[in-house]
Amino acid sequence: MDAPPRGAIGLVRHGETESNAARILQWPDTPLSARGTLQAERLARRLARLPIGRIVSSDYARARMTAECVARATGAPLELDPGLQERNFGDLRGTPYAQLDCDPFAPGYTPPGGESWEDLHARTDAVWERVALRARETAGHLVVVTHGLVCHSLVSRRFELGEGVRAPAGFANTALTWIEPGPPWRVALANCVAHLEDASEARAAGATPRA
């Protein structure tokens, strides 16, 4: 879908990082890898064909760098909102998945010093209210650049699925999800990486909700 409904909101997961590739719970200052930068540039070229009026991004480095690529390509102003940060895994950050003695994504699990699922959902609900207000004030599409678990929290709880749209198991790096203007908010396209033209690059982007 290269022509989303008028006023639709584009929900984007950031590009790949070295920690994504190595399966490590990430720190806030983890930057994009070379592959992640390429993914972000391809996403930006795709969005540059559309009337993008504003970009709102998490202030974590990987999301901000992805959003900056989109801002350069579209000329749209960029705002940072800490409410779009990835789930805080507290004391587990910096740990490879293989070294964990727990499943940090399990329902009901709260990482030491981090956020519970309930905390994350409350935060994403609050930030979506701000996003919706910005969307109403924006001429053109609003693009939101955030993280996999934020996308998962919103799509799995807050939005309806449009006809023929299946709920994704996870969100690939630079995946684009279009949300029709609402309420009710409806997913018109989910987890799309068509801008990663090379098939191997699309596979490398991954499709998990991991942080």
> Is 14 one of the catalytic residues?
yes
Which tokens hold the place of 94? Answer: 């910096």
Which residue of the set 14, 141, 147, 195 is catalytic? 14
Compute CA 92 distance to the chain's CA centroid, rounded to the nearest angstrom.
21
pLDDT in tens, 121-136: 999 999 999 999 999 9
pLDDT in tens, 34-81: 999 999 999 999 999 999 999 999 999 999 999 999 999 999 999 999
Q: Domains of the chain (ranges plus CATH)?
A: 9-205 (3.40.50.1240)
pLDDT at position 201: 53
Q: Which residues, at least 6 apart from 209, have a Cβ–Cβ distance to it below 8 Å?
A: 105, 148, 149, 151, 152, 169, 170, 171
Q: pTM for this structure?
A: 0.93
Which residue of the set 16, 86, 115, 180 is catalytic? 86
Question: Percentage of the chain surpassing pLDDT 70?
Answer: 92
pLDDT in tens, 79-116: 999 999 999 999 999 999 999 999 999 999 999 999 99
Which tokens hold the place of 173? Answer: 């790096």
Pairwise CA distance, residues 166 & 186, whole Å: 12
Tell whether the model's pLDDT for residue 138 goes beyond 90. yes
pLDDT at position 3: 77
Pairwise CA distance, residues 97 & 104, whole Å: 9
> Is 86 one of the catalytic residues?
yes
Contact 171, 160 (CB under 8 A): no
DSSP state of 12: E
Sheet (strand 52-57) strand order: 78-80, 52-57, 141-146, 9-13, 176-180, 186-192, 160-161
Q: Which residues, at least 6 apart from 163, have a Cβ–Cβ distance to it below 8 Å?
A: none
DSSP, collapsed to helix, strand or coil, labels residue 10 as strand
